[in-house]
């Protein structure tokens, strides 16, 4: 789900040994290095405030302003360069277990100097994100004076999709924060404006430990959720909302539709989500989920926000998939958001979703708009 991005990340992103022990990162780093081709002499990991999943996976580091990169040698030594002055590195070091954190003045120059002194003579791997500026990778390559920078993102992104026991626990905790945030919105729905309900949801998420929250609501009765960029328009019924929260690096998301009346779109969307939950298990294809949902909608049009019936969620709000078309089938141990929605007109829509972990005989439901 596309949402407005913050100018600066303001939540608490400090590394916590209690939440994410160093041993977890040691294991992750070993997995990353084990997937690299033996011809590569090192790894450059890029992230920014929009997408820092790879950085967070290896180091817990989430750049609060601009961007950062981790430079990893074949023997597992890690250096981080982050935006900010030398004085700001005191605070930057709190975001990671990595001890070597330096200012990022000229990223291309830093990579070239590090490669010369610490990374042998071979090509370097590059783990990046779609959010990287288009001109940045060519600048890196130019600074390396002919040394190749090999994009290994497709290979290493598979590690982001896999969930360790600790990652599953933290995702469950994120869903707990999501539940509290949505409940706060429901509490404010009867009698307060949509803006006040959304503000309450964001405040409760922050109080529950969310590092970040993204909340969209209807701009008019029954309208599709969008960014809140208008003067307070009073109470909206129905109110459609999208809520996403990040806790200890892990995201959880949910669509909810709040109304005091009976609407066919809402009833059919509830049926569609129930049908998907009843169908879903490890190995279920997205086509089967889509068929179950459409059958339950009984001819109602699918809401555009629910055309992707399943998306992977983790350190990314929407994970990169092995298939270019997105999730093809549900995999055991991964975490998905299942989405259902119906539309009849600009003022008559419904959206609902659930966070699930597939298993052999069904799914564990971590959170559901159905309650």
pLDDT tens per residue, range 20-62: 999 999 999 999 999 999 999 999 999 998 899 999 999 999 9
pLDDT for position 226: 87
Query: In which band, very low, low, confident or very high, does the pLDDT at 282 lie, cut at 50, 70 and 90?
Result: very high
Please indicate, yes or no, whether residues 92 and 118 belong to a single structural domain of this protein. Answer: yes
**In which domain, by residue range, is 271 found?**
165-368
Query: In which band, very low, low, confident or very high, does the pLDDT at 119 lie, cut at 50, 70 and 90?
Result: low
What are the backbone angles phi and psi of residue 174, rounded to the nearest 5°? Answer: -60, -40
pLDDT for position 191: 76
Residue 240 parent element (H or E): strand 239-247
Q: Across the strands, what pairs with 355?
A: 337, 367
Q: What is the DSSP string of 110-164?
A: HHHHHHHHHS-SS-EEEE--TTS-TTHHHHHHHHTTT--EEE-HHHHHHHHHS--
Please indicate, yes or no, whether residues 310 and 191 belong to a single structural domain of this protein. Answer: yes
pLDDT for position 11: 81
Please indicate, yes or no, whether residues 173 and 138 belong to a single structural domain of this protein. Answer: no
pLDDT for position 253: 98
Classify residue 13: in a domain, yes or no.
no
Please indicate, yes or no, whether residues 178 and 131 belong to a single structural domain of this protein. Answer: no
Task: Count other Cβ atoms within 10 Å, centred on residue 44.
Answer: 25
pLDDT for position 124: 94
Q: Is residue 235 pLDDT above 80, yes or no?
A: yes
What are the backbone angles phi and psi of residue 134, rounded to the nearest 5°? Answer: -60, -30
Q: Label residue 38 exposed, middle or buried (CB < 10 Å: 0-12, 13-18, 19+).
A: exposed
What are the tokens at 311?
């998306």
Last residue in a domain, options 161, 194, 213: 161
Peptide bond preceding 276 in cis form (omega within 30 of 0): no
Task: Count other Cβ atoms within 10 Å, centred on residue 195.
Answer: 17
Last residue in a domain, options 136, 161, 186: 161
Q: Is residue 268 pLDDT above 70, yes or no?
A: yes
Q: How far is it, in rounded angstroms, from Cα 345 to Cα 248?
A: 39
pLDDT for position 151: 95
Please indicate, yes or no, whether residues 272 and 306 belong to a single structural domain of this protein. Answer: yes
């Amino acid at each position: 789900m596309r949402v407005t991005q913050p100018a600066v990340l303001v939540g608490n992103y400090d590394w916590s040994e209690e939440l994410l022990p160093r041993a977890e990162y040691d294991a992750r780093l070993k997995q990353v290095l084990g997937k690299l081709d033996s011809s590569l002499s090192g790894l450059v990991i890029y992230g920014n405030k929009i997408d820092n999943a790879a950085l967070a996976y290896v180091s817990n580091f989430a750049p609060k302003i601009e961007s950062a990169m981790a430079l990893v040698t074949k023997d597992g030594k890690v250096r981080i360069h982050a935006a900010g002055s030398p004085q700001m590195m005191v605070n930057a070091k709190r975001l990671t277990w990595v001890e070597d954190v330096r200012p990022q003045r000229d990223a291309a120059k830093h990579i070239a100097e590090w490669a010369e002194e610490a990374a042998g003579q071979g090509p370097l791997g590059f783990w990046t994100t779609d959010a990287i500026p288009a001109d940045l990778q060519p600048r890196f390559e130019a600074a390396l004076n002919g040394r190749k920078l090999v994009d290994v993102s497709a290979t290493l992104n598979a590690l982001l999709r896999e969930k360790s026991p600790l990652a599953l626990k933290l995702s469950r905790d994120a869903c707990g924060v999501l539940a509290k945030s949505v409940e706060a919105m429901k509490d404010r729905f009867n009698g307060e404006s949509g803006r006040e309900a959304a503000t309450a949801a964001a405040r409760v998420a922050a109080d529950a430990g969310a590092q970040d929250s993204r909340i969209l609501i209807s701009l008019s009765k029954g309208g599709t959720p969008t960014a809140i960029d208008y003067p307070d328009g009073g109470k909206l019924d129905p109110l459609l909302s999208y809520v996403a929260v990040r806790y200890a690096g892990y995201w959880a998301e949910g669509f909810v539709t709040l109304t005091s009346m009976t609407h066919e779109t809402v009833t059919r969307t509830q049926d569609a989500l129930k049908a998907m939950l009843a169908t879903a298990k490890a190995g279920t294809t997205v086509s089967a989920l889509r068929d179950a949902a459409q059958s339950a909608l009984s001819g109602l049009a699918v809401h555009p926000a629910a055309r992707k019936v399943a998306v992977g969620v983790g350190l990314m709000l929407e994970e990169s998939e092995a298939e270019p078309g997105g999730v093809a089938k549900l995999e055991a141990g991964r975490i998905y958001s299942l989405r259902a929605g119906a539309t009849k007109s600009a003022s008559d829509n419904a959206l609902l979703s659930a966070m699930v972990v597939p298993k052999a005989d069904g799914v564990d439901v971590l959170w559901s708009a159905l309650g």
